[in-house]
Structure 1
């Protein structure tokens, strides 16, 4: 059975494909299906945005569709940037500008108050009915300078609990095993197995 991973973010697609490579389904991406319009991410929560993206993909393609919405919740910023993570600087997907703005906002915040968590909601929508949403969280702290060249987004400034390296310094396998998205996708795999 084919399942569509509904994301245009190349980094996310690579991560999700790695995580589901040994799963019970054949994974296809948006490049493998006819193009359809993206609905704007207007939800107030990660779950609302993930469900909206998965519903749009399932309705447009007729395929069971998985979508996620994820972001960084910083304690000192009352959980922001949250659902606005990808467009925190005002330009959607500008990782460098988003990261620099966040670091600037935390300049005067002492190290002991720089806690944060990556949060992910992953949704599975099957045409004609079934909708499932699962969550994953990866706690850590924000460092003062970017480190590492792996990953994307805020990875170069996020150090997971129990680590000294940023998530951008972890190998792909290490990141997949611990990350918010990895946790959410592993929680979704039993539901994908039920489809097949």
Structure 2
């Protein structure tokens, strides 16, 4: 047993994951992001898991080879930097529900600050703007040609449609990042006022 952040880590031993653990996770609103062997990576955007954290979604992982069920600290970049709490892997549905509730309630969160919220939103907006720029580099010549001479070939129409739908998707991501920023800043203001 080892100490981490003031609590004792579970014993590091290999356990066989219950067959229904993915079903239990889905029933609680967790989505399987990735699974390989006895490791399952989960995330959720439900309010019960994301309340008071910087990120839009909360990350969890189940590692059967070392008997760990972990939750992120609310500002996820990679697991080495973002573990909020670790408990043993549950073996029954009741244990799963209790363990998940305990993980959410007792996870150590990173501080929710205005700078961090703005930095996160700016980073996502920057990614979207870079993606729009890449679309313009890739399809810009065809779009300019189609604007000049018309969309007369199926390939021209297809490429112009790919460009337009890609740009619309990235603009949606920018709007979503700004909405998320506003919601998190309002949540922070409510916490400060309380």
Smaller-chain TM-score bracket = under 0.3
> What TM-score do you get using the length of structure 1 for normalisation?
0.23
As a proportion of its length, which structure holds more strand?
1
> What TM-score do you get using the length of structure 2 for normalisation?
0.23
As a proportion of its length, which structure holds more helix?
2
